[in-house]
Amino acid sequence: MKKLILLYFLMLGIVSTGQINPDGTVKQPPRETKTNPRNPTSTSGSIGIGIDLGGIIRSIKRNKNCNQVEVVFPPNKSKYITDKTNPPIFRWKSSKSDLVQFYKVELVRIDGKEKTILYQGETDQTQFSWPDEVSWRSEAAGKIKYEFYVMAVAKNADTCGNDVDGIEFSTTTENPVVADTNEDETPDGTTQKGGKALADTVKGDLTLGVGQSQKTDKIIAITPRNNASFKKEKLPDFTWRVDRIIENANFKIEISEVLPTGTTESIFIRENIKETRLSAKEVVSKLKDDAQYVWKVSETFTGISSNPSFFTTGSCDVDLQLTNETIECLGYEGDNRRYKICFSSTYQSTTGDLTFTNTGSGLFVYDQSNNPLSATLVSLQPQPGPTNTVNYCFEVLVNPGVTSIGFGLQGDDLDPTPITCQPGASLMINDLPNCLCDDCDSINLDYSNFTVSPQGTAGNQYNIAGNITANVPIYGMEIQIQTYSYTAAPAACSNGVTSIEESGMILLPSTSINNVTNLQLFNETQSGSSSTNNNASKTVKYLSTAPINGPIPINLTVGLPGPLPGFDATCCTINYRVCVKIKVFYDREGCKSCTFTKCIDFTNK
């Protein structure tokens, strides 16, 4: 239903902002810029993801053999306090990842009925970190709503179309960032005031991305992946992305061979490229077998460029990808945290199988400083050359200083010659989940119907009775007298505590939990004194072999200070306050519990 609603609004956005070409793509009109004199901002009048509306329309032609993308983190409608949390790392999964060329992402800010596109980009990963150019903490206190979209661009787009999914989330800033009111000169000579570049300093055809601040960003090379190895005929297209929108962009790509001397020799140059893609077919004829190459992309007007990216050609044809990673905290062990990480290993090769028998092969786990971490993992499985996927999980114990966990697989060398053909891939998880247990936030106890009545005629024992109802099945209960207090009027009509049984003790055998009187209790036995009462305790415990649902009857006989002999409630009034700590066990295997406190006020009248 969520996707149908999204698609409905997308269709409305298309009608209002573009025309549909015969091939199903959308002809976009120039963006309309609205200006607020107090806070200049560029806004988009369309609704929803604007990175490929034509592709979204084509995604209607979906069948069970097509990919479906789903955002898995953060959950929809998530809420964050920017002063206390780091930005989330967006994660998604594809039902048929082998059908995906790459992913397009879009981050949108919602201001009433206006939507501002803060970021657009492409990636071949299934995760996306909060962009550096978008401030996480606001310069003004208050709440901000966002939308995040991801589109899986299909290899077989004509058959299946491109699938898209999106979520909403919000942030609240309690202590806003204080903007710098001084003017500073940027490296390109423009002037910044109040921490933001002035829009009127932009010259020529260079324009800012919608909702973005002026910033010189590098071009990001995507495919061929850095240090990958291919057979020439399987070389993927050259693709890249820019972390801002550049109108009328002209890209230049240069490919050079890395010679044995370490120098490079240019073999291919193409200029005036309007898209962020170059077909590999234009390059293959220039390549040699068993050679290394480096490629680089630049934008001619802005001068920004990518880092050099390397690939090799030859008989080594391997593709190892780690995807669908998840992380769960299993709890604290002292000051250390134990995490469980699961991931999928997808392998394809015409050179050989993925194996882990040689020294140096296998799973490696490391922290943010590349220090190795010890991990517990079942044995790795060989993966044959045809495309296949194996799922793994491992546990790792980290100290308080670890803020990120990286992991990867390193396979055996597949080439017996001096040429190395060794599959390998790795991932880094920067957003470690909180290990503090929050299960008790969703567990509630109802103990509102407790009553108190005298037990016997001595005036120093009372029966506290009622039902305890939990909103989850429980496996046991521990009840402890945490504190007690009393006041007598007149004060001289009570001698206070005259025996251990009168000091706020739970007394057996008249006490019961769930109608059971044979309870575990913690009493004083070490002294060996003949005056020790083994049926008096501050704490009693009841455990069940099966989960308990519904009301649980409680009857506590509690000993308290009473009036002097011969005095009754009419001439010696005593007011009591007894606070009881109730611990309920909701996880039998993990022995997990939640604790609640109930205070009861009553009198001896």
- Is the same domain home to 249 and 359? no
Whether residue 244 is contained in a domain is answered as: yes
Whether residue 184 is contained in a domain is answered as: no
Contact 476, 595 (CB under 8 A): no
User: What does 248-270 look like in DSSP terms, one character per residue?
Assistant: T--EEEEEEEE-TTS-EEEEEEE
More confident residue, 106 or 192: 106
CA distances from 440 to 216, 366, 410, 470, 602 (A): 47, 33, 41, 11, 29
Contact 221, 298 (CB under 8 A): no
- Is the same domain home to 359 and 267? no
| Tens of pLDDT, residues 292-348 | 889 999 988 888 888 888 888 877 778 888 888 999 998 888 889 999 999 999 988
Domain end: 313, 348, 370, which one? 313
- Is the same domain home to 503 and 599? yes
Main-chain phi, psi angles of 269, to 5 degrees: -135, 135
Residue 414 — very low, low, confident or very high, per pLDDT cuts 50/70/90? confident
What pLDDT is recorded for position 57?
30
CA distances from 177 to 135, 213, 379 (A): 9, 16, 49
- How far, rounded to the nearest angstrom, does the alpha carbon of residue 478 sit from its chain's CA centroid? 35
- Is the same domain home to 479 and 584? yes
| Tens of pLDDT, residues 523-537 | 666 556 666 677 888
Whether residue 191 is contained in a domain is answered as: no
- Is the same domain home to 300 and 347? no
- Is the same domain home to 308 and 396? no
- Is the same domain home to 582 and 444? yes
- Exposure string of 50-67, with b = 16+ CB inside 10 Å and e = fewer, is bbbbbbbbbbeeeeeebb
- Is the same domain home to 61 and 6? yes
User: What's the predicted TM-score (pTM) here?
Assistant: 0.39
Domain end: 152, 178, 204, which one? 178
Whether residue 207 is contained in a domain is answered as: no
- Is the same domain home to 473 and 564? yes
- Is the same domain home to 247 and 393? no
Which helix (H) or strand (E) segment holds residue 116: the answer is: strand 114-123
What pLDDT is recorded for position 26?
37
Its sign, for the CA torsion 9, 15, 21, 22, is: positive
Domain end: 361, 396, 429, which one? 429
CATH number at residue 126: 2.60.40.10
- Percent of the chain scoring above 70 in pLDDT: 79
User: What does 324-386 look like in DSSP terms, one character per residue?
Assistant: EEEEEEEEEETTEEEEEEEEEEEEEESS--B---STT-EEEEEETT--B--EEEPPPPPB-SS
Whether residue 468 is contained in a domain is answered as: yes
| Tens of pLDDT, residues 264-282 | 899 999 999 988 889 999 9
- Is the same domain home to 44 and 164? yes
24-28, 65-69, 544-548, 589-593: least confidently modelled range: 24-28
Which residues form the domain of 329? 320-429
Whether residue 490 is contained in a domain is answered as: yes
Whether residue 31 is contained in a domain is answered as: yes
How many separate domains does the chain show? 4
What pLDDT is recorded for position 516?
92
Which residues 6+ apart lie within 8 Å of 558 measured at CB?
Answer: 461, 462, 463, 464, 481, 484, 504, 505, 506, 507, 578
CATH number at residue 273: 2.60.40
**CA angle, 321 then 327 then 329, to 5°:** 160
- Is the same domain home to 448 and 408? no
Is the pLDDT assigned to residue 68 strictly greater than 90? no
Whether residue 294 is contained in a domain is answered as: yes
More confident residue, 209 or 595: 595
Contact 49, 71 (CB under 8 A): no
Residue 40 — very low, low, confident or very high, per pLDDT cuts 50/70/90? very low
